[in-house]
């Protein structure tokens, strides 16, 4: 650029933003972002269609939504313990904004979801990322426990982990949080429905007010495009995280959709069950064909093709199927992450993959 422009904060000037390919995905079989592959409940579509015109003209209203989340979770929580965010991404951003100061440490694992690191970097935080343990990408529990002694500001655990699927027992999470009261322990449970490992039923936010759990309607209920995420924890912590967001960051269409989705848990449960069936089916095919793979929690698995991953990625795209290359990611370089949809969709994937 040949003119001078106002420089941002040094951390922002240095920042390598989290970027995902966000164009040209329509009409293809999208197995690249772990999205719901069939769309939300018909009741969500119906509710959106029934929005009266004046609702588009007024600022969104959030009353009743926290209560609906609690009813959906069927847990003894108070509305002030539920934070509403424009997707879990926005919740993660807000957590860093509210809690992460320059020079403080984010403790996390590696490889994991790609948005934690840029959020830490934009705050000027130091990142300590502990690798999963080979050969099965086990959770590095001893190393994480040992690192907590240094009192990092934040511990972020994705459970099950994206992209390795690694699962950490809820009991171990409660112990970590109890042992580290000066660290905000954030558990990203975006994919919890596919493994059933939630820490929420065990969590006592009065005893461990430093524990925060993240949930989203993106991947299970099929609302990724509408953006709706929740942070669940002790009321004062949820209050601090919510302070750094704008007053109307969640739009009213997303609010209507969320009410309808939360009220139709049977639809989401049926989708999750289908994904689990499809995951087992694909694992059987991979095992029978001798394809190196790794499948643990989540609606995704890793495959190591024998040919360069970029070629396989491109050829699958040409066949109308999107997957995510893990090139350059520690421990899993050379693999592809394949999201799991319905059995029929996985059959389509397997036919194309086998023909490469």
Q: Are 240 and 98 in contact (CB under 8 A)?
A: yes
Closer to ligand PLP by Cβ: residue 129 or 352? 129
Closer to ligand PLP by Cβ: residue 218 or 326? 218
Q: Are 70 and 93 in contact (CB under 8 A)?
A: no
Q: How many whole angstroms separate alpha carbon 280 and alpha carbon 299?
A: 11
* DSSP-derived pairing of the beta strands 336-339 and 324-325: antiparallel
Residues that bind ligand PLP (CB under 6 A): 33-34, 87-89, 113, 158, 162, 188, 190, 216, 218, 224, 229
Q: How far is the CB of 330 from ligand PLP (least distance, A)?
A: 17
Q: How far is the CB of 143 from ligand PLP (least distance, A)?
A: 21
Closer to ligand PLP by Cβ: residue 28 or 178? 28
Closer to ligand PLP by Cβ: residue 62 or 350? 62
Closer to ligand PLP by Cβ: residue 158 or 282? 158
Q: How far is the CB of 162 from ligand PLP (least distance, A)?
A: 4
Copy the structure tokens of residue 114.
Answer: 């790609």
Task: Give the CA distances from residue 207 to residues 78, 197, 343, in Å, rounded to whole numbers and listed in that order.
Answer: 15, 20, 43
Q: How many whole angstroms separate alpha carbon 50 and alpha carbon 64?
A: 18
Closer to ligand PLP by Cβ: residue 217 or 285? 217
Q: How far is the CB of 160 from ligand PLP (least distance, A)?
A: 9
Q: What single string gives the DSSP state of each residue in 177-224?
A: HHH-TTSEEEEE-TTGGGTT--STTT--TTT-TTEEEEEESSSSSS-T
Q: How far is the CB of 217 from ligand PLP (least distance, A)?
A: 7
Q: How many whole angstroms separate alpha carbon 27 and alpha carbon 321?
A: 10
Closer to ligand PLP by Cβ: residue 89 or 264? 89
Closest residue by beta carbon to ligand PLP:
87
Q: How far is the CB of 86 from ligand PLP (least distance, A)?
A: 8
Q: How many whole angstroms separate alpha carbon 327 and alpha carbon 169?
A: 29
Closer to ligand PLP by Cβ: residue 18 or 350? 18
Q: How many whole angstroms separate alpha carbon 34 and alpha carbon 256?
A: 23
Q: How far is the CB of 191 from ligand PLP (least distance, A)?
A: 7
Copy the structure tokens of residue 329.
Answer: 């990611």
Q: How far is the CB of 152 from ligand PLP (least distance, A)?
A: 19
User: Where does residue 337 rank: exposed (0-12), middle (13-18), buried (19+ CB within 10 A)?
Assistant: buried
CB atoms within 10 A of CB 200: 17
């Amino acid at each position: 650029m040949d003119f001078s422009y106002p420089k941002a904060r040094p951390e922002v000037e240095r920042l390598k933003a989290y970027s995902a390919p966000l164009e040209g995905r329509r009409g293809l079989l999208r197995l690249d972002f772990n999205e719901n592959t069939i769309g939300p409940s018909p009741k969500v579509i119906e509710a959106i269609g029934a929005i009266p015109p004046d609702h588009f003209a007024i600022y969104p209203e959030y009353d009743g939504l926290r209560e609906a989340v609690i009813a959906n979770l069927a847990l003894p929580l108070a509305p002030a313990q539920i934070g509403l965010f424009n997707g879990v991404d926005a919740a993660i951003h807000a957590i860093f904004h509210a809690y992460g100061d320059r020079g403080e440490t984010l403790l996390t694992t590696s490889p994991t979801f790609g948005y934690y690191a840029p959020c830490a970097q934009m705050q000027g935080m130091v990142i300590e990322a502990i690798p999963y343990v080979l050969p099965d990408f086990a959770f590095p529990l001893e190393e994480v426990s040992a690192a907590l002694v240094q009192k990092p500001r934040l511990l972020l655990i994705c459970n099950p982990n994206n992209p390795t699927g690694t699962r950490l027992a809820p009991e171990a999470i409660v112990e970590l949080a109890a042992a580290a009261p000066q660290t905000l322990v954030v558990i990203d449970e975006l994919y919890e429905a596919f493994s059933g490992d939630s820490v929420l039923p065990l969590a006592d936010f009065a005893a461990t007010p430093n524990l925060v759990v993240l949930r989203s309607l993106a991947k299970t209920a099929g609302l990724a495009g509408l953006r709706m995420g929740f942070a669940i924890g002790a009321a004062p912590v949820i209050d601090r995280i919510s302070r750094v967001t704008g007053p109307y960051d969640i739009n009213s269409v997303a609010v209507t959709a969320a009410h309808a989705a939360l009220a139709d848990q049977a639809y989401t449960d049926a989708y999750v069950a289908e994904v689990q069936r499809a995951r087992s089916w694909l694992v059987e095919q991979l095992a029978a064909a001798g394809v190196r793979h790794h499948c643990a929690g989540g609606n995704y698995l890793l495959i190591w093709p024998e040919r360069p991953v970029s070629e396989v990625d491109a050829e699958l795209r040409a066949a109308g199927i999107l997957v995510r290359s893990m090139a350059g990611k520690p421990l899993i370089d050379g693999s592809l992450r394949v999201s799991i949809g319905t059995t029929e969709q996985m059959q389509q994937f397997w036919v194309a993959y086998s023909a490469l």
